[in-house]
């Protein structure tokens, strides 16, 4: 009798500015890979767009990034969009988002809708499955994300330890060394579509068809997102994690 597979949920944090086919590919590649290890059963995927408080240059309003992600994932039967992070008043550390996802019921809900969302997520994440333990949550990311660990002041050391150690990462990357609890999914296809290039193409009135879903393109045109103006947003602002990390750590911070 084969060992029972551990149920797994993949969480992707990021700007999703905008969401692209490549982002959605990450989920597909990661799911296939984790299944092929024989140890995991991927039961869900979550796209969690960062809040406006992140302060990244060119970041358009969270409500748009959420709407586009929802349109893009309409046809997916296993990946959903989570608005919690984007609705927080300040930027949220990745590890906090991950903790929230695994222990939702402890956090107060601001509305019926949020309660319902929480219950739904609870049921995905926390309902004990007849065959085994509760689902694990791992962070899904691309190659550039691992590199951000090296940027001074961007991550707290104890957070890196918790994300990589307690939870675990599934990183879709062409190279690099494998580490404990960091699953490296060798990209079998080089797909360098990046949201930055797409925003550039949109500013220059170039086509982005077949790089992002049609419904997202329509939304972008309808709301006139991604112009020279939008790209200048937050210019000169310090990225929120850098500003926050520079402050002394309060004991109640988390």
**Taking contact as CB under 8 A, which single stretch among the options 25-33, 95-103, 121-129, 151-159 is the one that binds other proteins?**
25-33
Q: Exposed (0-12), middle (13-18) or buried (19+): which is 20, by Cβ within 10 Å?
A: buried
DSSP string across 138-186? EEEEEHHHHHHTTSTTTS-HHHHHIIIIII-EEEEESS---BTTEEEEE
- Which of 209, 222, 235, 250 lies at the binding interface for other proteins (CB under 8 A)? 209
Decide: helix, strand or coil at residue 131: coil
User: Up-side HSE of residue 198: CA atoms within 13 Å toward CB?
Assistant: 22
> What is the arrangement of strands in the sheet containing 40-49, beginning at the earlier edge strand?
79-81, 40-49, 6-14, 136-142, 169-173, 182-186
Distance CA 74, CA 10 (A): 18
Of 1 and 189, nearer to other proteins (C-beta) is 189
Residue 62 or 184: the one with the smaller Cβ distance to other proteins is 184
Residue 193 sits in the site that holds other proteins (CB under 8 A): yes
Q: Which of 211, 216, 220, 225 binds other proteins (CB under 8 A)?
A: 211
- Within residues 79-118, the interface with other proteins by CB under 8 A covers none
**For residues 57 and 75, which CB has a smaller minimum distance to other proteins in the complex?**
75
CA distance 169 to 167: 7
Element housing 94 (H / E): helix 94-102
Which residue in 78, 81, 74, 85 sits closest to 218, CA to CA? 74
Told to check if 162 binds other proteins by CB under 8 A, we report no
User: Could you say whether residue 28 binds other proteins (CB under 8 A)?
Assistant: yes
| Closer of 117 and 197 to other proteins (Cβ) | 197
By CB under 8 A, is residue 221 in contact with other proteins?
A: no
| Binding status of residue 25 toward other proteins by CB under 8 A | yes
Q: Which of these ranges, 80-88, 120-128, 184-192, 223-231, lies near other proteins under the rule CB under 8 A?
A: 184-192
Residues contacting other proteins: total by CB under 8 A: 26
Does 159 bind other proteins (CB under 8 A)? Our answer is no
* Residue 174 binds to other proteins (criterion: CB under 8 A): no
The binding site for other proteins (CB under 8 A) comprises 21-22, 24-25, 28-29, 31-32, 75, 188-194, 197-198, 200-201, 206-207, 209-211, 214
């Amino acid at each position: 009798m084969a060992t029972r597979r551990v149920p797994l949920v993949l969480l992707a944090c990021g700007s999703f500015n905008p969401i692209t086919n490549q982002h959605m590919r990450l989920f597909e590649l990661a799911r296939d890979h984790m299944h092929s290890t024989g140890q995991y059963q991927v039961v869900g995927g979550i796209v969690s767009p960062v809040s406006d408080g992140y302060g990244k240059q060119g970041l358009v309003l969270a409500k748009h990034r959420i709407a586009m992600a929802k349109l893009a994932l309409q046809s997916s039967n296993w990946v959903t969009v989570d608005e919690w992070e984007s609705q927080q008043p300040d930027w949220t550390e990745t590890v906090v988002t991950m903790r929230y996802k695994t222990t939702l019921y402890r956090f107060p809900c601001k509305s019926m809708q949020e309660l319902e969302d929480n219950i739904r997520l609870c049921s995905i994440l926390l309902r004990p499955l007849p065959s085994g333990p509760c689902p694990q949550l791992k962070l899904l990311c691309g190659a550039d994300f691992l590199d951000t660990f090296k940027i001074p002041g961007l991550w707290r050391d104890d957070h890196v330890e918790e994300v990589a150690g307690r939870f675990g990462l599934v990183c879709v990357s062409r190279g690099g060394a494998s580490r404990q609890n960091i699953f490296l999914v060798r990209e079998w296809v080089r797909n360098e579509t990046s949201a930055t290039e797409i925003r550039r193409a949109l500013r220059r009135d170039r086509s982005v068809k077949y790089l992002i879903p049609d419904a997202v393109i329509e939304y972008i045109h309808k709301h006139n997102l991604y112009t020279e103006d939008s790209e200048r947003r937050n210019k000169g602002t310090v990225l929120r994690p850098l500003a926050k990390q520079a402050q002394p750590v309060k004991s109640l911070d988390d």
